[in-house]
């Protein structure tokens, strides 16, 4: 191969890598799994329920019915924080993120490890990730949801709690539509319903974030 050809090939690969890295969407093993929810009509009752869930911006303050529940949470926080440290080195940032995931996942009736797995696959824990389809933030929410459930300001999807709230509410909606079927619900979240790669990636990541055996 001629030197000029090698140089051109290296330059081309570097340019592609730059585009992918700029999107902030490299998931496990370098695969991109950007959010691609499909816009669909919602009946008024569903729209009202989702809008109410998103608007209620209560601060993510964990509450516990007893001491043992609080200790379980603290053990989960310590174990999850240790695993997340490489991606979020600052303790305060890491703690706030995990507290919010804990709060929003439970508020939506979701497994916290599942939400962390989804965030890993969708954005690799990058707050300002944007996909080629325009999905934004940790949970890669498509901007059309801000018209359906909010005021249409897509920039709000970069706010941590807002993004996690949208992601959890939308995933809950899709799981309810699929009668609790994780495979189909996750596929619908990604816009790839019925295809295995995305659900399998999220479920594999979920297993990595399930620290119940340690807490």
63-99 pLDDT per residue, tens: 888 999 999 999 999 999 999 999 999 999 999 999 9
- Domain range annotation of the chain: 43-209
Confidence at residue 153, expressed as pLDDT on a 0 to 100 scale: 87
If one compares 26 and 54, the residue with the highest pLDDT of the two is 54
- Of 57 and 166, the structure prediction assigns the larger pLDDT to 166
Nearest to 158 by CA among 133, 132, 190, 126: 126
CATH code of domain 43-209 = 1.10.530.10
How much is the average pLDDT of 155-182? 92
pLDDT in tens, 96-137: 999 999 999 998 999 999 999 999 999 999 999 999 889 999
More confident residue, 213 or 121: 121
- For residue range 16-48, list pLDDT tens digits in order: 333 333 333 344 333 345 556 667 666 676 777
CA 158 → CA 45, 61, 72, 147, 210, distances in Å? 27, 20, 30, 15, 26
Residue 4 pLDDT > 90, yes or no?
A: no
Most confident segment among 1-5, 10-14, 16-20, 137-141? 137-141
pLDDT at residue 61 greater than cutoff 80: no
> Residue 20 has what pLDDT?
34
CA–CA distance from 145 to each of 95, 138, 205 (Å)? 27, 15, 25
Whole-angstrom distance, CA of residue 90 vs CA of residue 83: 13
What per-residue confidence (pLDDT) applies to 47?
73
Position 52 scores a pLDDT of: 75
Question: Using CA atoms, how far apart are residues 141 and 143, in angstroms rounded to an integer?
Answer: 6
| Whether the Cβ atoms of residue 112 and residue 101 lie closer than 8 Å to each other | yes
Per residue in 188-211, pLDDT tens?
Answer: 999 889 899 999 999 999 999 998
Percent of the chain with pLDDT over 70: 75
What is the pLDDT at residue 63? 81
């Amino acid at each position: 191969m001629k030197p000029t050809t090698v140089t051109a090939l290296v330059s081309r690969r570097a340019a592609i890598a730059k585009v992918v890295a700029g999107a902030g969407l490299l998931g496990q093993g370098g695969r991109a799994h950007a959010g691609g929810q499909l816009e669909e009509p919602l009946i008024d009752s569903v729209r009202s329920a989702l809008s109410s869930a998103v608007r209620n911006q209560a601060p993510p303050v964990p509450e516990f019915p007893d001491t043992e529940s609080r200790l379980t949470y603290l053990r989960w926080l310590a174990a999850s924080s240790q695993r997340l440290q490489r991606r979020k080195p600052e303790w305060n940032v890491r703690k706030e993120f995990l507290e919010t995931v804990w709060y929003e996942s439970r508020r939506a009736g979701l497994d916290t490890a599942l939400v962390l797995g989804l965030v890993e696959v969708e954005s690799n824990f990058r707050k300002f990730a944007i996909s080629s389809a325009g999905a934004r933030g940790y949970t890669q929410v498509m901007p059309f949801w801000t018209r359906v459930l909010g005021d249409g300001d897509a920039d709000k999807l970069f706010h941590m709690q807002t993004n996690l709230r949208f992601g959890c509410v939308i995933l809950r909606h899709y799981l309810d539509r699929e009668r609790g079927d994780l495979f189909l619900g996750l596929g619908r979240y990604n816009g790839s319903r019925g295809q295995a790669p995305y659900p399998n990636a999220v479920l594999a990541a979920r297993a990595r974030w399930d620290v119940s055996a340690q807490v």
